[in-house]
Each structure stands twice: as structure tokens, then as C-alpha cells.
A and B are shown apart, each in its own frame.
Chain A
């Protein structure tokens, strides 16, 4: 039964969470365009601690900037779409042996895009910010879905053995 499948439940949870975030990102300029400046300002404020929100580095909707920048938008889109098309992600990428290489491979382009621009070697563009963010978000989703499938299950006490560690190093 699909509904009892923990992976399916986790996918739904990640889709709802990232979908809500993405709706809010689009909601801020839509509200501003509709004259609801107070509500729009509230939504922009929610995202202000986590994104620089520079208008020149953000997409535009109805004459107002989105609530997050190109890169953050790519990340949220990556999380959302990777959860929707989760079954299309090769299982080998998220296997125990390969996942650290997958994390490194998905994070490196983003760090390079930021680092090389800060160093003045390369001028990143909306497309590079969006694509590197999308790749990072997809990787994040491929980890979050199995993580939430375990996290959302009721605790199985027989699996959680407390192991006495003698002389902890803390």
C-alpha cells in the first residue's frame, strides 16, 4: 500500500515543505503587485535572514523581485523537483558507498561559482546560479527523503540500543 510506504510519506512531506517555501517565494512579489504591501513585506522579512535578496540577482515577477535570489530559488526548485521525481534518481548515487562523492560532486559547482566570482576570476550569471543551486537542491532532496522516512516513523526501541562508552573524549 503506497500510503504506508515510509519513502512515499517522506516524499510527500518534502514536496509539501519545499512547495510551501516556493509558493511563498512567488507570493511576495504577487502580493506586492496586488497592493498588499504589508503582507508582502512580511513574506520578504521571513526570507531575509537566509538570503541577501539583492534585486539584481533575483528573478522578477509582475515588476517585483522574488523573495529569494537565483541560487536559493534553484535550491528550493531542486529540492521540490527531486522529491517529485525521486524514483528517477539513480539509487547508486545515494548508496552508502557513493553518497559522500555525490554530496561533494553536487556541492563543488556551487562553491566554485561563488568562490571564483568572489575572487574576480569569473562573473556568474543567473543561469549558473540557478543551475548550481538546482544541483545542490537535488542532492539535498535525495538525502532528505530517506532521512525523513526514518525520522517520521515511530521510534523502534529495539533498534535504538544504548551503548555504554567508557571514558568519553568530550
Chain B
């Protein structure tokens, strides 16, 4: 059986403003935030009571009670409770990978519409019980008499009560993502100045996007926030230059300014077949053309933890016969300014492209004025799994408003992974 592939339309998205960790959304759970993002999307596109093909979302930091997070969320929204849903998790690539999964089913004709999203909270992060305490609790559970229980409890030591706080750290290397990137950045000779410059531009671009009303139908206020909490419209290279390094030691170039802060938030994006959109009179902002996922060996190999997109993009380009310069806008997720700059340098580098990618020539430079034109994670914040949805919706809308074009989306993820995708738009025709 052969199935003709259908085009996958991006109809729009919705997210809640992103908050800094332990701040505006400190009391909100993943489910609360994802519900808010999804309900906003439902009301924006009048999906109340509609049964969608599926909702795919996820969170990177999850409580055990959130095992069925997305389905539970759907049940809290005004969507038809008959809308199926499932969770995925691919670190910071979760949101974009979710979109690719939904898109693939639409393309294959298995579903007509779906929502992809993601959510993360670093404020309500799960605390793991230490191994010692866990064993003790099992004993306590099995104790028959009060006397036995008291005996078990007598074995509790203060050290056991301290929960194993989940760290933003790679289990295989014991290094935080920032430390990993500090190494990669140093390896690519990324300077403090260029990182700060990229950061300031991200803030200015996002602030301008809010100013011109670009975000009005992409963001729904939540719990008192109307804009991303991390956004500093008056950010400048001079101000950023005053910050102390937080990664790479005292001589490091990575600061709290040019690294994304821990954030809370959720995002969702509506995908559908052309017919589904047409039936409802919904304009197609862009098409999700294809995606690619890559992984690198950052443990045994000597590649940087966050360099996988540098591999994923050329593979995807080759598949479509495109060059890196064939894009009108580039959405490169700013996990760290250093990550974006390292990736761009790699693509411009003959050695990387020849030795690591096996290409005869570098991919070349991109027009920097087309990079993250509405700001990215450095300004907006980065609730891990929510970033993909934010980017897909914003990039689709930007293309649509420009009257068409092509966008490259690139998101790096923990575990040495990278998810990338291409959007194309005909504008309002």
C-alpha cells in the first residue's frame, strides 16, 4: 500500500509567557501550564468540544504523578475528552519532535489535525528521595508493629532527608550543560563580546516583536504575566559585559546573561491537513516540510554536547537539495549564545564540514540579520520542552507575515541530541 503524502499546515500556536524559575509560576504545575497553553489555543481556534487527531506533548522534568501528563491535560481543557494524547520526551527537543510526530501522522493521512506542545517547570521540579531513605521507607512500609516502625525510624539520619535535587547535569559526564557548552565555546573560540552581542539582539528583537503586536495571537497571559519575565528590552552589550561568568571558571565567557535562565512555561502549536484548515476557513501560516534528528557522541567522542544540530541540518539540507543560504529566516534556539555561535562557526568551518560532516566545502555563513528575528530563548527564557512549540508558531507566523519564505529551525538538546526542521510558507495566497 502506498500513501500519498499530504502537506502539513501550521495554523498557529499559543503559549503562556515564560517565567523565571521560582517566580510567577512557582505555584503552577506542569499540568496547569500546559492546560493554560492548550486552552488558549482551543479558544483562539474555536476548538471547544472538538475531537482532534491527537495531542502530543511532554515535559523534561516530570513528577511521577505526571506519567500521563498530556492526556490528563487534555481532560482539563475544553477539547473533546475523546481526543487522544501521549507524552514524549527528548529533552529540549521535545516540543519540535512532538510537532514532527504529529506532522508525520497528518502527512500519512492517519490524522487530520493535532496539537504538539511542551511544558516545563523548574520551580515545581520533582525531588527524588535518596536511595538510603527510599530503602528505609520500604522497610517502614513492611514493618508490622509500631515498635518495629519506631526501630526503623530510629535509623533515619539527617543526611537522608536531604532530597536528591535534580540537577541540570549530564548523567554520563557529571558536567552541567553550561560547563559542556563552555568547553565547546572555548573550542570554537567564541568570545564574550560576540555572545553578549547576540544576547542583546535577542532581547531587542523579542521586545520589538511584542511592541509591534506580533506576539498578540501567540501568547496568552497567565497568572499575572503578559510578557516573558526574562525579557529585558533595555539589555545592552555594556550591561551584559558587567556580569560575572557562571560557566567555564573565572576566566569563562558564559554569564547568566548570555545563558538561558531556568524557566517555567508551556507552548502548543496547531497542525492540520490543508483540507481541515480549509473547512474551517483557517489560514495556513506555513507548512512543516520536514525534520531531522541527530545525536553526537559527546562522551566517548570529542564532540560538544550541544553540537548535534550542526550535524542534523546538513543531513536535512542534503535530503532536500537545499543549501544553508536558501532560507529567509533562521530560528536557532539559544540555549546559550555560545551554542548558537559555535554552531554557526562550525558550518562556516572547512575542517568541521570536511572532517566531521564529510563535505567537500563548508556550508558557509548565514545572513545574521535573518537569525532569530523575533528574539529567542535568551530573551524569552527556555522552559525546555516548551521551546519547540514557541519557535514553530513564531517562525510560521513570521513567514506568513512576510508573504512567504522558508525557515530553518534548529534546537539542541541534552544527551548530545539535536532536532531541526524546515517550514515553508506561501504567505496569504
Q: Do A and B bind each other?
A: no
- Which of A's residues lie within 8 Å of B, judged by CB? none
